[in-house]
Amino acid sequence: MTLFILALAVFWLAYSNGANDNFKGVATLYGSGTLTFRSALGWATLATLAGSVLSIALAGSLAKSFSGKGLVPPDILQSGSLLIAVASAGAITIFLATILGMPTSTTHALTGALAGVAIVASPDRSGFTKLLSEFLVPLLISPVIAILGASILYVLFHRARLARGITRETCVCIGRCPPIPVRMQADGAAFVAVPLDGGPRFMVATQDECVEHYEGNVVGVSAQAAVDGLHSFSGLAVCFARAVNDTPKIAALLFAAGTAGTIGVGWKLGLVAVAMALGGMLSARKVAETMSKRISKLNSGQGLTSSLVTAGLVLIASRLGMPVSTTHVSCGSIFGIGIVSGTARWKTISHILLAWITTLPMGAILGAGGYLFMTHLRG
């Protein structure tokens, strides 16, 4: 019975994780207009499933990190009460953030839940040193590195584009593409710069409605086609890397329930992978809109820069066994682009930062309460 309840709690946690995290890798593709929401979601789901399947081989050390060893005393490490409390606390924390449309960190929620259980289960033996050095430090440093990395890379890419003579045109598709160049007015309105079929000039909309397009070639390939291709690849790489990084953290709760090791437990990994995919397909829209359009206005080149930084940092962290948050890295890279380009939307950023600050203590409170409740029920 305990194992069944734990499986349900882990399924809910994985579903909430998918709803909050699956779209983050392709958020810049949707926000820049490179892909529609449905297309971006479909590709994100496939990349997430692929990353989940390969996660144990590539990032098994993360499963060990999130088994609670070092944070929780060994004699209660495999307690059903502990595992259910941690999974439930993480699921509730992430699901509430998803309902509010706020991107937050599963890593943060699970770390808080483990810390909360440790405090009430054995306050004199809880591993606060490990919590600080191996969990909180990577979580705090990773968004700063992402902001700096995205800012520097964007400046370098911008200078390289100018050196290659590639121009950036503001365009909009009217009827069939290719896009028609649009000239901007001082008041933000835009109109087609050439007459349509000999008729009058056509008013399009405001600047926010138009799509930026790169004109020029790179090694004989259209600059826009090259950017779109690399952008799509890097976005899928982020989804893949995120699944590699997050799946072992969630599956660790099932591994700790009695199965030795992390290899040969395909049904447990499959449960997590399927739940994450379902969460993304059914409940990702609110967080998708926040990540794609409310943090910063991005064009395809800026989106590419953000995706490259995010994918690189998360994959490196996965190989090193460092439990960084894909949310922190992804949002940090978009923050960096917005700061450099002057398009950062600080109200949304402040709301996201508030969600980050409250995630760990909320996870801790829910984890502690859940553990006390479960131990009371079990007598």
Quickly count: other Cβ atoms within 10 Å of residue 197's Cβ: 4
pLDDT in tens, the chain (379 residues): 677 888 899 999 999 999 999 999 999 999 988 899 999 999 999 999 998 888 766 545 555 555 555 555 555 566 778 889 999 999 999 999 999 999 998 888 888 888 888 888 776 655 555 555 556 676 678 888 999 999 999 999 888 888 878 877 665 555 445 555 555 555 555 555 555 455 444 444 444 445 666 777 776 778 888 888 999 999 998 898 788 778 877 887 776 665 444 444 567 777 888 999 999 999 999 999 999 989 998 888 899 999 999 888 877 876 776 667 788 889 999 999 999 988 899 999 999 999 988 998 999 999 999 999 988 877 6
pLDDT of residue 312: 85
Bridge pairing between strands 189-192 and 180-184: antiparallel
pLDDT of residue 128: 56
Q: SS3 for 340?
A: helix
pLDDT of residue 166: 81
Domain extents for the chain?
Answer: 2-161+222-377, 167-215
Tell me how far apart the alpha carbons of residues 134 and 147 are, in angstroms, rounded to a whole number. Answer: 21
User: Which residues partner with 296 through β-bridges?
Assistant: 344
Question: Going by C-beta distance under 8 Å and a sequence separation of 6 or more, which residues neighbour residue 97?
Answer: 20, 103, 104, 355, 359
**312 near 326, Cβ under 8 Å?**
no
Quickly count: other Cβ atoms within 10 Å of residue 350's Cβ: 10
pLDDT of residue 369: 94
pLDDT of residue 183: 56
pLDDT of residue 222: 83
pTM: 0.79
Peptide bond into 143 cis (omega under 30): no
pLDDT of residue 110: 86
